[in-house]
Structure 1
């Protein structure tokens, strides 16, 4: 299979996050892009639905905050409801 060098511009953060994901899947960015393009060809369009989010800005902001908190190693965690209750009542 002959290949053709292609240059695309990708947001730095998006590229880093995508590379992290693809590394976990055992593929590189080039392989992922090739898979995406093959799926586009097979389906005769994008292989996913493209639409504007129907969620309110407030909901989207809350989802982003939850994502940020879930990745923060300094966020406290609790192994039981009793521990959570103690922490809530101590504040």
Structure 2
């Protein structure tokens, strides 16, 4: 294994750093090791080890919806169900696994 002698300086948002380091700490992984793993994955993939793209649809954060907005979203779902715009749970989970490579 090569000696670790190169330094990396990066400016990131304090909240992002704090949240990520909290998760890494719970996993028992020092931030420097995580960064090293990330760089190794970049090398293995010859690019970023995940897709970087603009989501095709607007992600809905239900925690910020008012009761009226929540009811409107539920009505949309009910209308889709009545119109037959549904898919089986098996298909939905297969799509999720495919989207997130799990």
The equivalent of 2:68 in structure 1 is none
- For structure 1, list consecutive stretches of 5 or more residues without a partner in the other structure: 67-91
Q: 1:47 aligns with which of 49, 53, 76?
A: 49
Q: State the shift of 1:40 in Å.
A: 0.4
Q: Give the Cα–Cα distance (whole angstroms) in 1 for the partners of residues 22 and 12 of structure 2.
A: 15
The equivalent of 1:9 in structure 2 is 11
- Higher relative CO (Cα under 8 Å, sequence separation at least 6) belongs to 1
- For structure 2, list consecutive stretches of 5 or more residues without a partner in the other structure: 65-102
Q: State the shift of 1:28 in Å.
A: 1.1
Q: TM-score, normalised by structure 2?
A: 0.55
Q: TM-score, normalised by structure 1?
A: 0.61
Cα deviation digits, residues 55-91 of structure 1 (max 9, x gap): 326x1x33xx37xxxxxxxxxxxxxxxxxxxxxxxxx
Q: What is the 5 A alignment of 1:34-73?
A: 34-56=36-58, 59=60, 61-62=61-62, 65=63
Q: What is the 5 A alignment of 1:26-41?
A: 26-41=28-43
Give the paired residue count: 62
